[in-house]
Chain A
Amino acid sequence: MSKIAIISQPDQGVLIDVGGCASMQEAVSHLSSTLQVSSQFWKGVNVALNLGELELTSTQVAHILALAKGVGVYPYQVFAQQPLTRGALLEHGVVLGDGKPMTLPAMTIKVPENPTDEDWVDESVNIDSIDENSTVTVFYEPSENQLITEEVEQMEQGDQVAQDQARADGPEAQVDFTPNSETEKTEKTEKPSKAAKAKEKVEGPVHAGVMYLRQTLRSGQSVSHTGHLVIIGDVNPGAEVVAEGDITVWGALRGIARAGCSGNNDAEIRALRLQPIQIRIGESFARSPDKNRLHYDNHHGPETARVVDGKIKVFKFNPQF
């Protein structure tokens, strides 16, 4: 958990998590910058708030609620651990959150113990663009999953069990997978024609799972989201953006980006200036060249990073694609 995390799920709305903040002041400053800078985003969104372990008095709670109200945000539930804070929240007629606030799934990247250089996919992220006609990327659409009925859910659950079983059996057992997942996989890798794909994109439901953030992320800040993430601004070195879907940065991406964080290898990362320290897509990762960067002026124009044959490759942005 970072100082502030914004987590959103199509069915549950958005959770603003300031539980990582040490003090009321810190929480308020993070909240106000987040709420105001991207106030457009919050319109008509179900917002929940997590105050974590913060101990707040009634006046402090009132301050925070006023701050949210100022940008039209009325948290439908607030999570808090401390009895003092919970009492103060009840005083103000706020609904206390049940159970645990939603969190992002844990990282799926397999990191070896004490990794050496050979363990890294040593693909310099500044590679020149290569012919990309041969590669097809299946776009990740969280809303698509919602449309499909329970069968899929059961299937996924079945997968989960199988995976758990495989994990319990050790790494070798992971090779033979359930037939369920295989069929699903082949479906996914089927290459749709470009026209069909374009149609699909136009006709498909509006992404409930897209989050826009109009803000530059500075060192130490992080944003995580369960759908696609669009940052309008820069992501500086030391900042981290995490999404289960794609990550698009309308600006310079210089920090760490993790797309497809729950294991979706089809996710993409694109930026006007793709100059990250590290990018991770699904289960692959790539790191920047070894020399520390003093100058950021050399760039290749808009670029897209995606996984090709298990390795992250960077392509010049191609509007046809």
Chain B
Amino acid sequence: MGRVIVITSGKGGVGKTTASANIGVALANTGASVCLVDMDIGLRNLDILMGLENRVVYNLVDVVEERCKLRQALVKDKRMPNLNLLPAAQTRDKTAVDADQMKKLCEELKSMFDFVLIDSPAGIESGFQNAIAGAEEAIVITTPEMSAVRDADRIIGLLEARKDEITQYRLVLNRLRPKMVANADMMGVDDVLEILSIKLLGVVPEDEDIIISTNKGEPVSGTDNTRSGLAFRNIARRLRGEEVPFMDLDAKNDTWVTKIVNFFNPVRV
């Protein structure tokens, strides 16, 4: 039996879909069989990030409404055979599925894959409720911004109310800029954890490579030499139960040695 993990944030644009794609790829890289489920019905993006848009024939709503078999709707990743995508419908909206249907679907997917990652839509309405309906764990994504942290707090409250179903929820702090944190222009990891008091799963630094990878349809965690990719790979390892030390993103630790290394290293933070 696999694990069903929902990736959610409340606020839009903090990187739910990017995180879903990257964690999915990273988990598949560790050898696990993974299914990514795009629950953002009507505003689907995950297939674009994965570079699988041109392979989508059936979608989640077709499965729920029994127009096709689940296996027909699953799109196999072009790089890794153990990674699959269940795309959202684009010409429908959030009301096309309900919580019971999602639960049933998650049960079925759970029996087929080690990890089922559900990319939740923004907001706290029906789309979000459906996305968490079949989940057992949650990853809350936030950025170090007041508004995003506020929304993440709201989400954590909603997840806590479903303690019986969702047993574990952890935080991923996305798009951190260590230099701004050092200048006290941005909330740091500790500041965010202070408010949310939730277990930290990973910190992902702001990275231009994310934009490039999104446009290419190749998640960064599938390629080495990006810091964000490494951060997502670490998250995947932590999800599998490994103890992985957090990346040193503290700008104060920038010594002359690291500065020289960074100078020659095209990857900047």
Residues of A within 8 A of B54 (CB): 277-278, 287-290
Please tell me if the beta carbons of B55 and A2 are within 8 angstroms of each other in the complex.
no
B215 partner, pick from A2, A109, A112, A292, beta carbons under 8 A = A292
Instruction: Please encode chain B, from 50 to 89, with 1 for each CB lying within 8 Å of some chain A CB and 0 for all others.
Output: 0101111110000000011101101110100100100000
Known interface pairs A2-B92, A22-B93; A115-B216 also in contact (CB < 8 Å): no
Count residues of A near B (Cβ-Cβ below 8 Å). Answer: 34
- B253 beta carbon closer than 8 Å to chain A: no
The residues of B that contact A221 with a CB separation of less than 8 Å are 91
In the bound complex, residues from chain B placing their C-beta under 8 Å from that of A237 are 53
Closest A residue, CB atoms, query B55: A287
The answer for the CA separation of A120 and B78 in the assembled complex, in Å, is: 12
Determine whether A320 belongs to the interface, using a CB cutoff of 8 Å to chain B. Answer: no
Q: Flag whether A106 is at the interface (Cβ < 8 A).
A: yes
B51-A2 in contact (CB<8A): no
Q: Is the CB of A220 within 8 A of B91?
A: yes
Determine whether the beta carbon of A115 is less than 8 Å from that of B90. no
B269 proximal to A (CB < 8 A): no
CB contacts (< 8 Å) of A107 on chain B: these are 67
Main SS at interface, chain A: loop
Please give, as numbers and ranges, the residues of chain A lying within 8 Å of B43 by CB-CB distance.
Answer: 220
**Tally of contacts, chain A with chain B, CB under 8 A:** 76
- Does A2 lie within 8 Å of B91, measured CB to CB? yes
B105 → chain A, closest Cβ, in Å? Answer: 16
Q: Is B217 positioned at the interface, with any CB of A under 8 Å from its CB? A: yes
Chain A residues close to B by CB (< 8 Å):
1-3, 20, 22, 106-107, 109, 111-117, 120, 219-222, 237-240, 277-278, 285, 287-292, 294
Given contacts A111-B72, A291-B217, 18 further A-B contacts (CB under 8 A): A1-B92, A3-B91, A20-B93, A22-B95, A106-B67, A114-B76, A114-B84, A115-B76, A116-B76, A220-B90, A220-B91, A238-B44, A278-B56, A285-B57, A287-B55, A290-B78, A291-B51, A292-B51
